[in-house]
Amino acid sequence: MRSDKVKKGLERVPHRTLLYATGIPAAEMNKPFIGVATSFTDIIPGHIGMRELERFIEKGVHTGGGYPFFFGIPGICDGIAMGHSGMYYSLPSRDLIADMIETIANAHQFDGLVLLTNCDKITPGMLMAAARVNVPSIVVTAGPMHSGNLRGRRLSLVNDTFEAIGKYQKGLIGDSELQSLEMCACPGAGSCQGMYTANTMACVTESIGMSLSFCATALAISSEKKRIAFESGRRVVELVKDDIKPRDIMTRQAFENAMRVDTALGGSTNTVLHIPAIANDAGVPLPIATFDSLSKTTPHIANMLPGGEHYLEDLHYAGGIPAVMKSLVSLLYNTSTVSGKDIHSIAEAAVIVDEEVIRPLDKAHHAEGGIAILSGTLAPAGAVIKQSAVVEGMMRFEGTAKVFDSEEEAMAAILKGNIVPGDVVVIRYEGPKGGPGMREMLSCTATIAGMGLSESVALITDGRFSGGTRGPCVGHISPEAMEGGVIAVIEDGDRISIDIPARKLDLLLSQDEINERLKNWQPRPAKITTGYLSRYAKMVTSAATGAIMKT
């Protein structure tokens, strides 16, 4: 066993002494050592229920014949970090998490890993670590939150609180309803209720094959989730004994399966950052153009929040990810999973309980999937949009640029009523380097939607979006402004064309005019010059490569 390096031989007397100091019985020393990375914290709703899941994972590891060692991994709640300087740290935390797990797992020579996660950057960070360390591993996502309820109406975080800001500003709701929404939208433990980034990444994890069936959608508060946690702990010991490693599962075909499921669900645009980053650590080249080619041939079969009407609980009760794979099975490779079952076997055994929630291919909501990759004079290296959350009338749009050099400047203009139909809000210097950290623009996009402008105003940025964003919002524009991309030289009053079916994003100027502006552009000084974010800005690569760190 790998752990023999710390527990076998004469020269390991001091090591065994330290291990015995932890309370491990001598009879357990010959069992596989399983590291359990837990991101429990009191401040993230998706993680507050993890203490119970830790107990069930521990029971499962012992039942399987292993010995568990728990270690803590930090997490950021993107909702709480949204709209202020805290969001600078969200995406960079993904790479810190991967580094931490790599460090602990290799320093202590664990034989296997259980990765207990749930929210936006924590799940991809843990998957990156699993691919990098490449010891037998299994992921437990802690599950979605139940929908909120106000006077019989179901509620979700984004649609009923972030968008409520714009409604309140427009006078569409008053103080009493605003306060009621605050209190009722998020009733307890779990990741936010729609197909936002946390739940999208949970679905991606299950589709890749790194978590057990139904793990992505089983509710955080359910006994089913506890049983999945137990079985995951038991199963990881079998993975160790059979020497089945993450790179055996996370193949190019597995990533393509996950991308198809993602786009069929209309998942978060953040997966265009995370899946390539995970693939990079798995040694699998995966250009973002792959998303577009797969999306064009993958129907959109589940109309999930924020652009649609269904909650994660609806998806679970309709059959979960196995049922989604059943509908898509003709498009999926028959790859392996941590359960020991292959994808086609899981799909064959699945039952689609509700064909309105999970539609067959011939009754899809849209012929194409949720993700589209745009390019053109404004984004030579690409840009990303969730086309499944855009109304038909905005699939092609030409508007007038209103330019802002930060999220805060744009938000102030939106709240003042300075954004009107026909505008294209341009938010720049918010990319991986320029932010730094590529902040999410959810406060801006949700306020625009809440003010009733999502069908007449577009927003483009070199930053990124929450999975909760809906409307004609184009992110990840590459090259970013800080690197001298074309977005850096847009001026107020310029005309911008967005053509989603043609996959085009253009600044309507001659190439000579664009070149002249670029020639006169001067780099801006870094916003942050100390600490982790300063180092991150120097090492991070383009959004077009998954914002991975240079090596």
Greatest alpha-carbon pair distance for the chain in Å reads: 76
Residues 261 and 377 in one domain: no
Q: What DSSP designation does 120 have?
A: T
Residues 295 and 387 in one domain: no
Which of 137, 138, 121 has its CA nearest to residue 44? 121
- 25 assigned to some structural domain: no
- 514 assigned to some structural domain: yes
- 138 assigned to some structural domain: yes
Span 442-463, pLDDT tens digits: 999 999 999 999 999 999 999 9
Number of neighbouring beta carbons within 10 Å of residue 273? 28
Residues 318 and 375 in one domain: no
- 152 assigned to some structural domain: no
- 551 assigned to some structural domain: no
Q: Quote the pLDDT of residue 497.
A: 98
String of DSSP letters for 54-88: HHHHHHHHHHHT-EEEEEE-----HHHHTTSGGGG
228: CATH: 3.40.50.2300
Cis, peptide link before residue 246, omega less than 30° from 0: no
Helix, coil or strand: residue 208? helix
Span 70-87, pLDDT tens digits: 999 999 999 999 989 999
C-alpha–C-alpha distance, residues 304 and 187, integer Å: 19
- 15 assigned to some structural domain: no
C-alpha–C-alpha distance, residues 141 and 213, integer Å: 11
Residues 405 and 328 in one domain: no
Which strand (E) or helix (H) includes residue 372?
strand 371-376
How many domains does one find in the chain? Answer: 2
Cβ pair 348, 332 in contact under 8 A: no
Residues 338 and 452 in one domain: no
- 168 assigned to some structural domain: no
Q: Quote the pLDDT of residue 468.
A: 85
Which ranges of the chain have pLDDT less than 70? Answer: none
Residues 333 and 440 in one domain: no
Q: Range of 473's domain?
A: 371-545
- Contacts (Cβ under 8 Å, ≥6 apart) of 392: none
Tell me which of 156, 375, 443, 466 is the catalytic residue: 466
Number of H helices, E strands in the chain: 22, 14
The question of whether 466 is a catalytic residue gets the answer: yes
- 477 assigned to some structural domain: yes
C-alpha–C-alpha distance, residues 85 and 531, integer Å: 14
Residues 284 and 416 in one domain: no
Residues 524 and 475 in one domain: yes
